[in-house]
Structure 1
């Protein structure tokens, strides 16, 4: 170990994650496979991460008494989503390693700060302007042009908290529909595709990028990812290099996801940052030598990074609550149709439209063939039910 670095934690040390969703669940499962105890700070006792945790604190994540109790049980702390109080993370960091640090979370949880960071570090991204009052809205229209996208500065995800503005006279109503909260106005990007790069960076500064993921969305929600992305070696290298440079500039210790637009000319524009594992990286559980969640465990515990290369090309498709509209999907039929399909369900109690309930992963020598197989298995979940196949 290099001088000045904290002593690594060894199993069965107790690791804690703030947030009880599926990302926390998969972090806990990865930690337990390595022999760690793992717990969670969650808001209710039926959340996905709580179901598999060794221990749990059930309370709001910004309540001081809950933070104290959480810190008493967790020897190191991470997060599963960015909408965590940065002040709470800063308070926790006084007595426990908190990775990623509160500054990384603070930047990425607010689009105004995130865009300012990208601008300051000359990282390519769409033109933008802040919108905090009507005067700034008028300036933004002139500066970035039309059409533009108004996005709330905080709390937006999966297409929520944003609206497209086609005409200047509609801008005021669009901002009002978002509650006239602080926003960013982004120039419209006519992109060819969307890709993402997941980076793991240790406390010693060592960092690795996973292969690029190629993402397809439906109704602003990620529908599928294939890895490696069919974007060619130049775009692949540029995307990984940019993602690594962002992690370095943020001094991130942990896992960071960078989402990109690929323009028709082959250029890259950063769309969003996420200081955590990402939906597009779920396929690394089976497809990579070290999954994104194991990398999160390793960086949190101060252990060396694992190799990030793919064992085999792979595809992942999301399972949304819409699949439950007419009853329980036919899991046996889908798994029987293709023995290579891997099923992950998150243990969520209510299946509402658009809610991420699970995913399917398929490995194949050809990534697009893997996607075809995963999509076919997903169709069978409901087709066999309506056809009466059991």
Structure 2
């Protein structure tokens, strides 16, 4: 792949070369959040912006790609779901549109990886366990995003500080750390563990370039590190979300009450989305079979996309679901993407300067052992 920029120093890492970006900072492909505007803003700021393509229709994805291309000539990525019905068509779109990076939340198969790489794209899946990193590395992916338990949305139980060194030691490809990052100190710490950069979701969501309304952002800003919960209530797979809205209700209710709330939400979201009941039921049955879910979880899982959309885009924090990393409790402002990236890089430089010993002063030159006489210096007066 052609390198679009060059640089030196500890903050110019392998992913800068691999992606062709200025800084080792990745904005993750968050559903309903990482739209074309946020992606373009991050990319223009020198990081890697990624469009959340999994939640878009094919035509919406095509329009989003065109939007970013019209606003920057720098590389950006698109996040896809490997098991989408039209994944082959979407891969073809990325290839034809000249997208540089293909990102996946669920690992693509070997055929998909090969097709993308043959077309010159960089393939970067997200993983949550060492064995998953080893598996996709053997399949030929170019890098991996490693998300620890502090991360938002679907997440595992192992914290980033333990998972990251495991993966770095297990694979030779670039590793990008995710889960708990929001500033320059975090970037330096990730590099110290052996990562080649950081990926952030919640921090980029809480910028002025994200599509999330200010009212919803204010809810996030009001939360502490203890105001998140990892729940199975959405689709049977652990997800970290805010203690608010639907999740707060479901986590605090039991038995029949939970089922009743889930059913009421299902009806509300079906009306809002217009999705046929037959499709919701079919998807729910598939989830029940593949994840061994209970019926209440099936009802919730079938409506999971609308749960997120209702909160993040429609501002219905009372009935929606708000994915978040635990780092939300450390964020207290809403900068632009450019301001955020610049701040992180400046902070990282300052941390590195503080950790780098000052050079020792140069030694004083030694005097000649001979003592010059006045006659040697001035000559004789005769």
TM-score interval (norm. to shorter) = 0.3 to 0.5
Question: When you count helix as a share of all residues, which structure comes out higher?
Answer: 2
What is the TM-score with the length of structure 2 in the denominator?
0.32
The TM-score with structure 1 as length reference comes to 0.32
